[in-house]
């Protein structure tokens, strides 16, 4: 009897320890269409003083212009370069040989998000930004289909196509996208405030809300429900770029950096997430550089629009900072990485790419 008791206690201790070791939460974040050039070098010298794309060049230079690329990128995204670079990995500086690329050939949003979320390109079926339910299974759906993560998955996006990209109806998890408000009977005071405020604050675009609403809806949900897999998709940078407003594009990137800090600070104050969360940040596509006007655009005809970047920090990440050695990563490695971290199996015939190597050395 004593031996049996000891065996049971040992088994319980093993299960508890193993659960603690694997008790990783994941927050996946995308910044729509943010070029690797600005991420790694800050304000573009060919654009920051160009009156075609900047209505107040003096004001913009006062904010973001510095003598060196390293100084400029810190001015633009201080949390990324003062904090994340110390505790994580930043991939995609092609000047240093670090390459991150899309595998889809479309080089615009829906195909990019599909690749990130499903682990594979699908150029034959995902070839537009139309509001068509995604025929592929996302990592969000795979997690929600597992009893361990059932109803512990959440998605928030500024673009109103995200409920279709994630396939909200099949997923069975509400996706707060576009101009949707928070729903439910237990809304927090801030959620009720956001619900009142959002319709009163005009967005420059008909299909994309301002990122502050996406951000705060996500945080409020995380406070109340503590999802173990959360997806947050910011959208402003892409739309300001399409508008040809480089000033707003840079300011939006700077503001998003502050939102990232706010999100991280929240997780470090919440016992559920503190030191137990893996953050993965990336973008759905790049943008052009030559000729200069192609910075506004992307797509298969725009040179360089398939070049992206990737940031990882938090639990289990070897803090290597900016990667300065030659490497080749792909966006389709993100979903398999999340599955591996959450100990999930992929759907049949999906996610052929190997996950990223995150282990501490």
Q: Between the CA atoms of 105, 109, 111 and 115, what dihedral angle is there, to the nearest 10 degrees?
A: 100
Peptide bond into 291 cis (omega under 30): yes
pLDDT for the residue 296: 98
**Radius of gyration of the chain, Cα coordinates, nearest whole angstrom:** 21
Length of the chain: 361
Tally of helices (H runs) and strands (E runs) in the chain: 15, 11
Q: Which two tokens stand for residue 244?
A: 């040809």
Rounded to two decimals, what is the model's pTM? 0.93
Q: Can you name the CATH fold of 23-341?
A: Alkaline Phosphatase, subunit A (3.40.720)
Q: Would you give per-residue pLDDT tens digits along the chain (361 residues)?
A: 444 333 333 333 333 333 344 699 999 999 999 999 999 999 999 999 999 999 999 999 999 999 999 999 999 999 999 999 999 999 999 999 999 999 999 999 999 999 999 999 999 999 999 999 999 999 999 999 999 999 999 999 999 999 999 999 998 888 999 999 999 989 999 999 999 999 999 999 999 999 999 999 999 999 999 999 999 999 999 999 999 999 999 999 999 999 999 999 999 999 999 999 999 999 999 999 999 999 999 999 999 999 999 999 999 999 999 999 999 999 999 999 999 999 998 765 555 568 898 764 4
pLDDT for the residue 205: 98
Contact 25, 272 (CB under 8 A): yes
How many CB atoms neighbour CB 185 within 10 A? Answer: 4
pLDDT for the residue 354: 83
**Residue-range domain boundaries for the chain:** 23-341
Q: Which two tokens stand for residue 200?
A: 């009163």
pLDDT for the residue 17: 33
């Amino acid at each position: 009897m004593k031996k049996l008791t000891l065996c049971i206690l040992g088994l319980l201790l093993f299960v508890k320890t193993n659960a603690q070791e694997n008790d990783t939460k994941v927050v996946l974040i995308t910044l729509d269409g943010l070029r690797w050039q600005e991420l790694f070098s800050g304000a573009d010298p060919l654009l920051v003083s160009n009156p075609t794309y900047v209505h107040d060049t003096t004001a913009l230079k006062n904010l973001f212009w510095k003598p060196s690329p390293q100084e400029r990128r810190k001015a633009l995204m201080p949390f990324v370069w003062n904090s994340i670079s110390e505790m994580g990995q930043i991939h995609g500086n092609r000047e240093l040989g670090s390459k991150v690329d899309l595998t889809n050939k479309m080089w615009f949003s829906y195909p990019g998000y599909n690749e990130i979320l499903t682990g594979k390109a699908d150029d034959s079926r995902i070839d537009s930004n139309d509001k068509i339910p995604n025929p592929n299974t996302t990592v969000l759906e795979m997690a929600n289909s597992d009893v361990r993560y059932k109803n512990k998955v959440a998605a928030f996006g500024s673009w109103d196509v995200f409920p279709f990209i994630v396939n909200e109806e099949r997923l069975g998890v509400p996706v707060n996208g576009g101009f949707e408000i928070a729903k439910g009977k237990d809304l927090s005071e801030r959620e009720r405030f956001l619900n009142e405020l959002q319709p009163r604050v005009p967005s420059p675009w008909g299909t994309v809300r301002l990122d502050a609403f996406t951000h705060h809806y996500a945080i409020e949900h995380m406070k109340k429900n503590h999802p173990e897999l959360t997806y947050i998709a910011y959208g402003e940078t892409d739309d300001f770029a399409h508008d040809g407003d480089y000033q707003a594009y840079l300011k939006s990137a700077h503001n998003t950096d502050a939102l990232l800090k706010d999100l991280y600070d929240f997780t470090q104050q919440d016992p559920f997430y503190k030191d137990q969360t893996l953050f993965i940040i990336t973008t759905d596509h790049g943008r052009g550089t030559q000729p200069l006007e192609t910075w506004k655009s992307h797509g298969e005809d725009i040179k360089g629009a398939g070049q992206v970047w990737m940031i990882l920090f938090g639990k289990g990440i070897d803090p290597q900072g900016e990667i300065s050695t030659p490497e080749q990563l792909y966006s389709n490695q993100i979903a398999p990485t999340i599955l591996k971290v959450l100990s999930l199996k992929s759907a049949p015939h999906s996610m052929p790419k190997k996950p990223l190597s995150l282990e501490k050395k």
